[in-house]
């Protein structure tokens, strides 16, 4: 189970970094929230 949590955390971190690079000046929190929801749906 610890491995799943680690993988999930890394996936979220990777998505966050990708968004941060795309929106350097202004973070799009709504888009980030949508991506996190998509990732979480995919891990269940």
Cα-based distances in Å from 21 to 3, 27, 42: 27, 9, 23
Would the pLDDT of 42 be above 60? yes
What's the number of domains the chain is made of? Answer: 1
Q: Which domain holds residue 27?
A: 2-43
- pLDDT (tens digit per residue) in 2-31: 889 889 999 999 988 887 777 765 556 777
Integer Cα distance of 15 and 17 in angstroms: 5
Specify the pLDDT at position 25: 55
pTM above 0.85, yes or no: no
């Amino acid at each position: 189970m610890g491995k799943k949590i680690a993988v999930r955390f890394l996936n979220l971190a990777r998505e966050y970094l990708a968004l941060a690079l795309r929106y350097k000046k202004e973070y799009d929190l709504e888009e980030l929230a949508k991506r996190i929801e998509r990732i979480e749906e995919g891990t269940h």
